[in-house]
Structure 1
Amino acid sequence: MSRAKLKELLIKEKQSLVAMESCGGTHYWAQFAKQAGHQIKAINARQVKAFRQGQKTDANDALAISVAARQPHIKGSRLLSVQEQCLQGIECMRDLLVKEKVSLGNQLRALLLEFGYPIAQGDTKLTQAIPEILEDAENSLTGAFRFTINRVYQRFTEAIEEVKLIEKQLHEVIKEDQTCIRLQALEGVGPVCAILIKIALGNITHFKNGREAAACFGLTPVQHSSGGKQNIGSISKVVGNKKLRSALYKGALAVVSQLEKREVRSQKDIWLKALSVRRGKKVAAIALANKTIRTAFAMQKHNKDYQPQLLVA
């Protein structure tokens, strides 16, 4: 069925449940079907796969989606609004440019190291060293290699400028967004992390409570229990919102590291410092990230600002 025919079907069909597998284009079709008056349920591909019988064909996939959509324990994927999609797109493109910048920088350092030019870490050190190496006419670099290094170096500097421009645009968006401003009051939450939390918790009714939200993002231990025996392991590296979890972990780890150099100021600082001494920095950072999501969920649900319990002097 073509896209035009599918649109006609959704418009003419009586109000019903439109189930689909979460993949590319899910948001567009979900929004279109919703405007046509239908109920939407987008299901994770891993959950659909459990209900597929036989070989992987379009017909078997459709049957599996149909069966999975009728199961009461199968929860649909959360769908973003158009504004949240745009924010997510900006952050994804910024992340892509950062990865490109890092990749180009690492390639330049690795190649020049083989010619006896060790370059210190940092974008500033690299931008200072490359022009000096290219201008040195007495080194053994060939003309073709100099040309290639120069082109890659130009791409590297352009990526730096593009990242700065997009980050400037992100900061402008954050200044006008009250949700992001409130979220940045949380420990270890910066501008980018605030946007990721806002996108993840956009539809607060998707989660029953803060613990469910933390589990969805991969910040709770994985269970492997059987026969009445509970076996609680570590957090999963496969499931969850990896980008958000990584941002939360890095911010929390910075808070834990700084806490060793200053006096405690709140009840959370006392809890975090004791946990860090007892279990180590990394466990404490994950625990703080878990608590950050739960606190952010409560802030979004009740539309309140973050109010830490400060110690009385």
Structure 2
Amino acid sequence: VLPHLREADSTENLSLFTTDEDHLKYWLPILYGLSEVIGHPHIDVRTSALDRLFNILLKYGNTIDADLWALIFRKVLLTIFSPVLSTTENSQGQLDNMAEWVTTTCLGALSHMVELFSYYFDHIQFLAEEFLALLTSFILQENVNLASIGSTCLLQLITSNAEKWSDAQWKVVATTLQYVINQKLCVELLSVGKPKRTNTDGDLVEEEEEITEISPTNGLEDFVGMLRESTPSKHRPLDVKVVVGKCNVVLLLLKTLHDVTSSFYDTLTNEHFDIFLNALDSCFNLAKTLNNKPNVWKATGKSDIMSLIVRQEASSCD
């Protein structure tokens, strides 16, 4: 591959590399191999692979055409996170085995993707919706570390490209924020104190509350469908740790929304603010309802849940 890359060094803004077989046989083994090594158990090995992978893409990104970028995004970059975003029944055990990777490498890998997207925005902005769907999958994980990483990188992605987003892209960004806030709300607390129902196995279980789906705004039905497909299934029973984690992530998302609207007030349109206000309204109404339920206060006991819900109510009308 080196002769081809040396040729690329002397050529500016020219797409030399495509999905042609002659190019793929060089690019994919190298890039995919590095992405696999990023999952190595030794931190120094995976960190080196991570740096090399993104250094290559940063250096030669302007010589890659759109089709090859799409292939690299879907077949190389997304696979880095497949083990921790798995939706299988064994995903929790798999995630437990990768706890060190999540805490030491995951944020760096996702941040590198944000930096790459921002650097080559003009080349790969067509992948924005898929990238936002990836971040949505992170944010909606029950694991608070993954959810926090996704929230942090969502803010990084929005702010680093704030001057580049078109009005249509801002609408997609706003819809993403509305969706993740809506999905992350602890609606399961509404079932506290309600009588249990009998499931098909004859066991008594809590009555589950349904999340109110957002109505896709004109032109974004397909995108909202993509976000729904990125929403992970729940495999663990409701517990205090999960609820506390969700509450903390909602507060982080509310801060993100506040930072975005205050920092880019002049850039956003009334349509964008309507979407943001709908998200705040959903959060405020749920928090207010929960705060007025004595059964919820009693059932949550000495946990941090209700103090976090109070903060959500205050933050959503701040």
- The interval holding the TM-score normalised by the smaller chain is under 0.3
Greater strand fraction, Structure 1 or Structure 2:
1
> What's the TM-score once normalised by structure 2's chain length?
0.26
More relative contact order in 1 or in 2 (CA 8 Å, sep 6+)? 2
